[in-house]
A and B are shown apart, each in its own frame.
Chain A
Amino acid sequence: MTTLTTRTSSPTPDVSTLPLQSSRARWTVRIIGISAAVGVALTVWLGLWVTPPDVSQGNTVPGNLVRLVYIHPGVAWVALYLAFGLAAVASLLYLWPRTRSMFWDRLAAAAVEVGVVFNVCTLISGSIWGRPTWGVYWAWDARLTLTAILLVLFLGYMALRRIPAEPEKRAKRSAFVCLFAAVDIPVDHFSVLWWKTLHQGATVLNPDLSPTIHGSMAWTLLISFVALTLVFVWMLLVRYRIGVLGDWLDGNELDVALRERQSEGVAADTGGAR
């Protein structure tokens, strides 16, 4: 029903006027993507070859496991804080009547989707780390459990978004679910302090704000955070653009199809010039 109302509102379907579709915007996204790839490559090089293995264990398998520190915290940072945090803020701004716009809704949707990918990566990289250090792939510890719950909560958010509904109602409903789910984020962050957990405390964002890591390892860790943040921004922008195009298509699909059929007719009349 919504397709019928919005279809007539834009008689000339021109994709290039949509947000993020101008050639300048596309180039910006591309440059961010390239710098993300460079950053990841740099992290891999620094993490695997330049930085030393664990001091106490030397160049052994457990000694080299510490290199997971250049992936796991960065991925978790993107998923739990950047992506889901951004989704929560965007949802709040959508619900706030003064700032209500579909921009926030699409941004929240894009952030959640990318966040879910990073959340899965967090759980996988954590499991790979957990097996040799704790002896198990998975422990029912507060932080792990809460992170898994967060994943399921945002999977629910995505399921809710897939239900056909009027865009406005869907946006509102999704924003509420996102906010309810986001309550879990601070609990997850402080879980290492509140409960006795297997998971170690915060290395960088600890209560004293004094990172407990130094030298080339600290630099590599920092670069990994920047690189993964760039990956997140790039994926977010691409997903947002797809979201915009998807919404546009929902509104103009019939118009486009009609136009194509008409031009076919014209082409046939003029002797198949097409």
Chain B
Amino acid sequence: MWRDTVLVAGKDLRIEARSRVALSQVAPFGVVALAMFAFALGPDRAPMAHGAPGLFWVAVLFCTVLAVQRSVSVEAVDGARDGLRLSGLDPAGLFLGKAAAVAAQLVVLELVLTVGVILLYGARIETPWLILASSVLGTIGLAATGTLYGALSAGLRVKETLLPFLFLPIAAPVLLAGTRIWQAALSGGIPADAGPWLRLLVVFDAVYLALGVVVYGPIQESA
């Protein structure tokens, strides 16, 4: 399973390294989204710094939708999905591999967005390890749920419109928890408040990773 995970993740990341879609389109989209939020909230910095945690995670969520769509579409042509199923790779490894590739891209993206939030919104980070923990845990959860829903919607003609509708509500706990942890980590927050939300993220990740490992094979058959 782990070998298959590495193989699949390597494949997806190699495609990304050669096509640069996430780097040249998804990451800039995230920055554009941050800029749009700034326009919407006006020139005053106070509401922006106040809303920075939520806006960061909303931007991450939107970018996750794009990253997942990309992760699905690289296998949409030339019967690549059937090829993967025939290859004898463990479905659990396939799931973990695709999720890991999405997660790796999201981590880079979150770095860019964090810098963006600090520069554009004037957010000041007081407790860096909380930011790091929320990003790592949130990314795992988003990648796991995103990959699951990506596989579910893979064969559908309406996948572009359906995926955000199905995925965003399922990912809402990550948005909620991530935002609260960020609020606790920025200046003026209380780091101790982050505890329950970190636990929520851990449970969320564990549940959806476990679900994915168990059901990814059958999901592929239904797509």
Contact = CB atoms under 8 A, between A and B. Distances in A.
Interface of A: 95, 145, 149, 152-153, 156, 159-160, 163, 165, 169, 172-173, 176-177, 179-181, 183, 187, 194-195
Nearest to A170: B222
Given A145-B176, A180-B211, A183-B207, A173 B166 contact: no
Contacts, number: 56
Interface stretch (B12-20, B28-36, B213-221): B213-221
* Interface secondary structure of B, over-half rule: helix
Contact of A149 (B155, B172, B223): B172
A180 B152 CA distance: 11
A-B pairs with the 10 shortest C-beta distances?
A172-B222, A152-B169, A156-B166, A173-B222, A153-B169, A149-B172, A169-B222, A149-B169, A156-B165, A183-B207
Given A173-B152, A176-B218, 6 more contacts: A159-B162, A169-B222, A176-B215, A177-B166, A180-B208, A181-B170
Contacts of A176: 148, 152, 215, 218-219, 222
A180 B170 contact: yes
B12 to A, nearest CB: 22
Contacts of A159: 162, 165-166
Interface string B147-180: 0110010011010001001100110110010000
Interface in B72-100: none
A149 to B, nearest CB: 5
Given A172-B221, A176-B219, A195 B165 contact: no
Nearest to A157: B166
B188 interface: no
A95 B165 CA distance: 23
Nearest to A195: B196
Given A156-B165, A163-B158, A194-B196, A173 B170 contact: no
Interface residues of B, number: 25
Interface of B: 145, 148-149, 152, 155-156, 158, 162, 165-166, 169-170, 172-173, 176, 196, 207-208, 211, 215, 218-219, 221-223
Nearest to A175: B222
Contacts of A152: 169
- Report which residue of A153, A173, A195 has the largest number of chain B beta carbons within 10 angstroms of its beta carbon: A173
B91 to A, nearest CB: 13
9 contacts: A156-B165, A169-B155, A172-B222, A176-B148, A176-B215, A180-B211, A183-B207, A183-B211, A187-B173
A153 B152 contact: no
A165 B219 CA distance: 15
A91 to B, nearest CB: 11
Contacts of B207: 183
Contacts of B148: 176, 180
